[in-house]
Amino acid sequence: MASDGSLSPSALVWAARAGGLHVIALTDHDTTAGYSEAAEAGRGSVHVVPGIEVSTTFECRELHMLGYFVDPDHPALQEHESEAMTRRRDRMAAMIDALRAGGLTVPFEAVAAEASGSRIVARPHLARVLVQRGHAATVSDAFDRWIGDACPAYRPVNLVTPYEAIERIHCAGGIAVWAHPELDLLRREVRRFAAGGLDGIECYRPRCPPEDCLMFERTAEELRLYATGGSDWHGVWNGRLGTFSLSHEEVGAVLEYGGI
Protein backbone atom coordinates (compact mmCIF):
# COMPACT_ATOMS: atom_id res chain seq x y z
CA MET A 1 0.00 0.00 0.00
CA ALA A 2 1.09 3.60 -0.46
CA SER A 3 0.53 4.77 3.11
CA ASP A 4 0.75 2.55 6.19
CA GLY A 5 0.56 -1.07 5.08
CA SER A 6 3.18 -3.81 4.89
CA LEU A 7 2.66 -4.72 1.22
CA SER A 8 3.08 -2.83 -2.02
CA PRO A 9 -0.16 -2.09 -3.91
CA SER A 10 0.47 -4.92 -6.39
CA ALA A 11 1.40 -7.39 -3.63
CA LEU A 12 -1.77 -6.43 -1.81
CA VAL A 13 -3.83 -7.34 -4.88
CA TRP A 14 -2.00 -10.66 -5.25
CA ALA A 15 -2.74 -11.42 -1.58
CA ALA A 16 -6.39 -10.52 -2.14
CA ARG A 17 -6.58 -12.87 -5.12
CA ALA A 18 -4.92 -15.65 -3.10
CA GLY A 19 -7.49 -15.03 -0.38
CA GLY A 20 -10.37 -15.55 -2.81
CA LEU A 21 -11.47 -11.91 -3.07
CA HIS A 22 -12.93 -10.62 -6.35
CA VAL A 23 -13.54 -6.93 -5.54
CA ILE A 24 -11.44 -4.79 -3.20
CA ALA A 25 -11.17 -1.08 -2.48
CA LEU A 26 -7.74 0.42 -1.98
CA THR A 27 -8.32 3.09 0.69
CA ASP A 28 -4.91 4.20 1.86
CA HIS A 29 -4.73 6.93 4.46
CA ASP A 30 -4.79 10.36 2.82
CA THR A 31 -3.38 9.27 -0.55
CA THR A 32 -4.51 7.66 -3.80
CA ALA A 33 -0.94 7.11 -4.99
CA GLY A 34 -1.21 3.30 -4.96
CA TYR A 35 -4.30 2.95 -7.12
CA SER A 36 -2.71 2.77 -10.60
CA GLU A 37 -0.31 -0.01 -9.56
CA ALA A 38 -3.07 -1.94 -7.80
CA ALA A 39 -5.51 -1.63 -10.72
CA GLU A 40 -2.89 -2.90 -13.15
CA ALA A 41 -2.05 -5.85 -10.89
CA GLY A 42 -5.72 -6.76 -10.59
CA ARG A 43 -6.55 -6.52 -14.29
CA GLY A 44 -8.67 -9.51 -15.30
CA SER A 45 -8.80 -11.08 -11.84
CA VAL A 46 -9.50 -8.60 -9.01
CA HIS A 47 -11.58 -5.46 -9.50
CA VAL A 48 -9.88 -2.61 -7.61
CA VAL A 49 -12.13 0.27 -6.58
CA PRO A 50 -10.32 3.61 -6.38
CA GLY A 51 -10.60 4.97 -2.87
CA ILE A 52 -9.06 6.93 -0.04
CA GLU A 53 -9.40 7.09 3.74
CA VAL A 54 -9.41 10.75 4.71
CA SER A 55 -8.22 11.51 8.22
CA THR A 56 -10.23 14.21 9.98
CA THR A 57 -10.23 15.89 13.37
CA PHE A 58 -13.48 15.96 15.29
CA GLU A 59 -13.82 16.98 18.94
CA CYS A 60 -10.08 16.51 19.53
CA ARG A 61 -10.19 12.95 18.21
CA GLU A 62 -9.34 11.37 14.88
CA LEU A 63 -12.26 10.29 12.69
CA HIS A 64 -11.93 8.72 9.25
CA MET A 65 -14.04 9.20 6.14
CA LEU A 66 -13.74 6.68 3.32
CA GLY A 67 -14.09 7.85 -0.25
CA TYR A 68 -15.14 5.19 -2.78
CA PHE A 69 -15.13 5.52 -6.59
CA VAL A 70 -13.12 8.73 -6.45
CA ASP A 71 -11.04 10.13 -9.28
CA PRO A 72 -7.58 9.36 -7.85
CA ASP A 73 -5.99 12.25 -9.76
CA HIS A 74 -8.51 14.91 -8.76
CA PRO A 75 -6.89 18.16 -7.52
CA ALA A 76 -8.95 18.11 -4.32
CA LEU A 77 -7.35 14.81 -3.30
CA GLN A 78 -3.87 15.78 -4.47
CA GLU A 79 -4.08 18.94 -2.35
CA HIS A 80 -5.29 16.92 0.61
CA GLU A 81 -2.40 14.47 0.25
CA SER A 82 0.14 17.29 0.22
CA GLU A 83 -1.34 18.77 3.41
CA ALA A 84 -1.55 15.36 5.06
CA MET A 85 2.09 14.50 4.38
CA THR A 86 3.25 17.60 6.21
CA ARG A 87 0.83 17.34 9.10
CA ARG A 88 1.46 13.63 9.63
CA ARG A 89 5.20 14.25 9.86
CA ASP A 90 4.52 16.93 12.47
CA ARG A 91 2.22 14.54 14.34
CA MET A 92 4.86 11.78 14.23
CA ALA A 93 7.46 14.13 15.73
CA ALA A 94 5.03 14.97 18.54
CA MET A 95 4.37 11.27 19.24
CA ILE A 96 8.09 10.53 19.33
CA ASP A 97 8.53 13.40 21.81
CA ALA A 98 5.76 11.90 23.96
CA LEU A 99 7.44 8.49 23.88
CA ARG A 100 10.74 10.09 24.88
CA ALA A 101 9.02 11.76 27.82
CA GLY A 102 7.83 8.29 28.83
CA GLY A 103 11.36 6.87 28.69
CA LEU A 104 11.32 5.35 25.18
CA THR A 105 13.87 6.61 22.66
CA VAL A 106 12.81 6.26 19.03
CA PRO A 107 14.65 8.31 16.39
CA PHE A 108 12.45 9.96 13.79
CA GLU A 109 14.91 8.75 11.15
CA ALA A 110 14.18 5.13 12.06
CA VAL A 111 10.44 5.65 11.58
CA ALA A 112 11.02 7.49 8.28
CA ALA A 113 13.19 4.60 7.09
CA GLU A 114 10.45 2.13 8.04
CA ALA A 115 8.03 4.21 5.97
CA SER A 116 10.37 4.22 2.97
CA GLY A 117 8.29 3.71 -0.17
CA SER A 118 5.15 5.08 1.48
CA ARG A 119 3.80 8.55 0.86
CA ILE A 120 2.60 8.92 4.46
CA VAL A 121 4.44 8.44 7.77
CA ALA A 122 1.89 6.73 9.99
CA ARG A 123 1.44 4.91 13.28
CA PRO A 124 2.02 1.37 11.93
CA HIS A 125 5.51 2.47 10.88
CA LEU A 126 6.17 3.73 14.41
CA ALA A 127 4.70 0.54 15.86
CA ARG A 128 7.09 -1.62 13.85
CA VAL A 129 10.06 0.42 15.07
CA LEU A 130 8.86 0.03 18.67
CA VAL A 131 8.83 -3.74 18.14
CA GLN A 132 12.28 -3.71 16.52
CA ARG A 133 13.72 -1.80 19.46
CA GLY A 134 12.17 -4.09 22.06
CA HIS A 135 9.62 -1.59 23.38
CA ALA A 136 6.68 -3.76 22.34
CA ALA A 137 6.16 -7.46 21.67
CA THR A 138 4.02 -7.01 18.56
CA VAL A 139 2.53 -4.23 16.45
CA SER A 140 -0.78 -4.77 18.24
CA ASP A 141 0.99 -4.52 21.60
CA ALA A 142 2.58 -1.21 20.53
CA PHE A 143 -0.86 0.17 19.74
CA ASP A 144 -2.44 -1.22 22.90
CA ARG A 145 0.19 0.20 25.26
CA TRP A 146 1.72 3.22 23.59
CA ILE A 147 0.25 4.72 20.42
CA GLY A 148 -3.35 3.61 20.09
CA ASP A 149 -6.19 6.07 20.57
CA ALA A 150 -6.21 7.37 24.17
CA CYS A 151 -2.75 5.85 24.86
CA PRO A 152 0.04 7.96 26.44
CA ALA A 153 1.87 8.83 23.21
CA TYR A 154 -1.16 9.23 20.97
CA ARG A 155 -1.53 12.55 19.22
CA PRO A 156 -4.29 13.34 16.68
CA VAL A 157 -3.57 14.52 13.16
CA ASN A 158 -4.85 18.07 12.94
CA LEU A 159 -6.44 17.84 9.53
CA VAL A 160 -9.77 18.73 7.97
CA THR A 161 -13.18 18.39 9.58
CA PRO A 162 -15.45 15.48 8.63
CA TYR A 163 -17.61 17.90 6.65
CA GLU A 164 -14.59 19.15 4.69
CA ALA A 165 -13.59 15.53 4.01
CA ILE A 166 -17.06 14.75 2.67
CA GLU A 167 -16.86 17.80 0.40
CA ARG A 168 -13.44 16.79 -0.96
CA ILE A 169 -14.60 13.24 -1.63
CA HIS A 170 -17.68 14.54 -3.45
CA CYS A 171 -15.53 16.96 -5.48
CA ALA A 172 -13.51 13.94 -6.60
CA GLY A 173 -16.69 12.17 -7.75
CA GLY A 174 -16.87 9.68 -4.89
CA ILE A 175 -19.23 8.67 -2.12
CA ALA A 176 -18.31 9.43 1.50
CA VAL A 177 -18.60 6.66 4.11
CA TRP A 178 -17.96 6.92 7.86
CA ALA A 179 -15.19 4.42 8.61
CA HIS A 180 -15.31 2.14 11.67
CA PRO A 181 -17.58 4.48 13.67
CA GLU A 182 -17.87 4.29 17.43
CA LEU A 183 -21.44 3.39 18.29
CA ASP A 184 -22.02 6.16 20.84
CA LEU A 185 -20.58 8.84 18.56
CA LEU A 186 -22.57 7.56 15.61
CA ARG A 187 -25.82 7.74 17.55
CA ARG A 188 -25.04 11.35 18.47
CA GLU A 189 -23.68 12.68 15.19
CA VAL A 190 -24.86 10.56 12.26
CA ARG A 191 -27.88 12.70 11.44
CA ARG A 192 -25.77 15.84 11.35
CA PHE A 193 -23.19 14.12 9.15
CA ALA A 194 -25.95 12.84 6.87
CA ALA A 195 -27.32 16.37 6.56
CA GLY A 196 -23.77 17.42 5.67
CA GLY A 197 -23.59 14.96 2.78
CA LEU A 198 -22.54 11.64 4.32
CA ASP A 199 -23.42 8.82 1.92
CA GLY A 200 -22.79 5.68 3.93
CA ILE A 201 -21.76 3.89 7.12
CA GLU A 202 -19.17 1.13 7.40
CA CYS A 203 -21.44 -1.46 8.99
CA TYR A 204 -19.38 -4.63 8.68
CA ARG A 205 -15.81 -5.15 9.83
CA PRO A 206 -13.71 -7.68 11.75
CA ARG A 207 -13.96 -7.71 15.53
CA CYS A 208 -17.17 -5.68 15.47
CA PRO A 209 -19.78 -7.08 17.89
CA PRO A 210 -22.75 -8.47 15.92
CA GLU A 211 -25.20 -6.27 17.83
CA ASP A 212 -23.20 -3.17 16.83
CA CYS A 213 -23.13 -4.25 13.18
CA LEU A 214 -26.91 -4.68 13.31
CA MET A 215 -27.33 -1.20 14.79
CA PHE A 216 -25.12 0.32 12.08
CA GLU A 217 -27.12 -1.52 9.43
CA ARG A 218 -30.45 -0.34 10.83
CA THR A 219 -29.19 3.25 11.05
CA ALA A 220 -28.02 3.16 7.45
CA GLU A 221 -31.38 1.82 6.34
CA GLU A 222 -33.31 4.40 8.37
CA LEU A 223 -31.30 7.31 6.93
CA ARG A 224 -31.12 5.82 3.43
CA LEU A 225 -27.34 5.61 3.54
CA TYR A 226 -25.17 2.97 1.92
CA ALA A 227 -24.13 0.05 4.12
CA THR A 228 -20.50 -0.87 3.45
CA GLY A 229 -17.82 -2.98 5.05
CA GLY A 230 -14.10 -3.42 5.08
CA SER A 231 -11.28 -5.39 6.60
CA ASP A 232 -9.22 -2.34 7.68
CA TRP A 233 -6.27 -4.52 6.67
CA HIS A 234 -2.97 -2.72 7.24
CA GLY A 235 -0.50 -5.59 7.10
CA VAL A 236 0.39 -9.18 7.80
CA TRP A 237 -0.11 -8.69 11.55
CA ASN A 238 -3.83 -8.41 10.77
CA GLY A 239 -3.87 -12.04 9.60
CA ARG A 240 -4.55 -13.45 6.15
CA LEU A 241 -6.20 -11.11 3.67
CA GLY A 242 -9.51 -12.67 2.63
CA THR A 243 -10.38 -14.14 6.02
CA PHE A 244 -12.92 -11.34 6.26
CA SER A 245 -15.17 -10.88 3.23
CA LEU A 246 -18.62 -9.57 2.34
CA SER A 247 -21.43 -10.92 0.22
CA HIS A 248 -23.16 -9.14 -2.64
CA GLU A 249 -26.30 -9.12 -0.51
CA GLU A 250 -24.55 -7.04 2.16
CA VAL A 251 -22.97 -4.40 -0.10
CA GLY A 252 -24.82 -4.83 -3.39
CA ALA A 253 -26.16 -1.25 -3.44
CA VAL A 254 -22.64 0.19 -3.28
CA LEU A 255 -21.41 -2.15 -6.02
CA GLU A 256 -24.33 -1.18 -8.19
CA TYR A 257 -23.52 2.50 -7.63
CA GLY A 258 -20.04 1.84 -8.97
CA GLY A 259 -21.31 -0.21 -11.88
CA ILE A 260 -19.79 -3.45 -10.60
* 50-to-5, 9, 29, 36, 107 alpha-carbon distances in Å: 16, 12, 13, 9, 34
Q: State the pLDDT at residue 5.
A: 67
- Judge whether 187 and 78 are in contact, CB under 8 Å: no
Q: State the pLDDT at residue 13.
A: 94
- Measured CA to CA, the distance from residue 207 to residue 144 in angstroms comes to 15
Q: State the pLDDT at residue 7.
A: 84
Q: State the pLDDT at residue 3.
A: 58
Q: Whose CA is closest to 183, among 200, 202, 164?
A: 202
Q: State the pLDDT at residue 4.
A: 61
Q: State the pLDDT at residue 149.
A: 83
pTM: 0.85
Q: Whose CA is closest to 5, among 182, 125, 85, 145?
A: 125
DSSP string computed for 25-50: EE--BT--TTHHHHHHHHTTT-EEEE
Q: State the pLDDT at residue 138.
A: 93
Q: State the pLDDT at residue 160.
A: 92
Q: Where are the domains of the chain?
A: 9-257
Architecture of the structural domain at 9-257: Alpha-Beta Barrel (3.20)
Strands 47-58 and 61-68: antiparallel
Q: State the pLDDT at residue 239.
A: 73
- For the chain, residues with pLDDT lower than 50 are none
